[in-house]
Amino acid sequence: MTKRMDGKIVLITGGASRPGIGAAIGERLAEEGATVVLSDVDLAGVEETAALIREKGGKATAVRHDVAVQDDWDSVIAALLAEHGRLDVLVNNAGILEVAGIASDRAIGALRSQFEVNVLGSFAGTQVAVRAMRQSGGGSIINMSSVAGLVGFRGSASYAASKGAVKLFSKSVALEVAAENIRINTVHPGIIRTNMQDQGAETNAENYEAIEAAIPAGRLGEPLDIANCVLFLASDESTYVTGAEFVVDGGYTAQ
């Protein structure tokens, strides 16, 4: 029986954390037949994720990768192309969250570090993926933004700035490459049950309690909720979808 991702070569960044969105995406796409390359700065962690996928019958390998370093992108893509011959899908999922209010002494430092990973990492990945996909006639790039890239979040101005940047550079690049059969879209998770959200809840507890209480669906999202959206964008079911933003938030930003 043909699966939705049969034959596709996929690179997913930020795959070490569990529970985490990158790990869930890797598992879901592998279930649908993709050959998955997972990357992360935490090599031991991402190797464990890849091993868990293989135990379930999927095809997955792992590589150490700092998305904020251009040389890392060049070497990861070169190795992937040497091994598999092409790149069909890139999921720029790696990201960090640093909560620092605007009056905090850490505010500017938090802004810089989050832009290096969340914005520069996704931008550099998009750049090298476009070059690789041109060689094989197209592909799909999915850049992970956030509902914080759509609406304001108290105490998270620097994170929101980084995720808003991801949304708009993705739309702009989508226009550049649409005629080359390269699609670029953003996914905007709401409050998802991951290690990152646990960190945010601990450091910004008062605001997070109010945010969680305001979710119309009445529950936190699960990493699989995001993985299923990414699956659609990675598959050939979305060949006429580019420059779009997909919000997966239980209705939070509909209010």
Question: Angle at the Cα of 85 (from 84 to 88), degrees rounded to 5?
Answer: 85
What are the angstrom distances between the C-alpha of 84 and each of 11, 34, 51, 219?
Answer: 11, 12, 19, 40
Let me know if 159 is a catalytic residue: yes
- Measured in residues, the chain has a length of 255
Two tokens at 233? 């964008």
In DSSP terms, 144 is beta-bridged to: 187
Residue in the structure block whose two tokens are 């799909």:
140
Distance CA 133, CA 47 (A): 26
Let me know: does 187 contact 141? Beta carbons within 8 Å.
no
Let me know: does 89 contact 234? Beta carbons within 8 Å.
yes
Task: Tell me which long-range contacts 105-108 makes (C-beta under 8 A, separation of at least 24).
Answer: 107/157, 107/158
Cis peptide before 19 (omega within 30 of 0): yes
- Given the residues 159, 208, 240, 252, select the one marked as catalytic: 159
Distance CA 212, CA 218 (A): 8
DSSP letter at 3 equals -
Let me know: does 15 contact 23? Beta carbons within 8 Å.
yes
Catalytic residues: 159
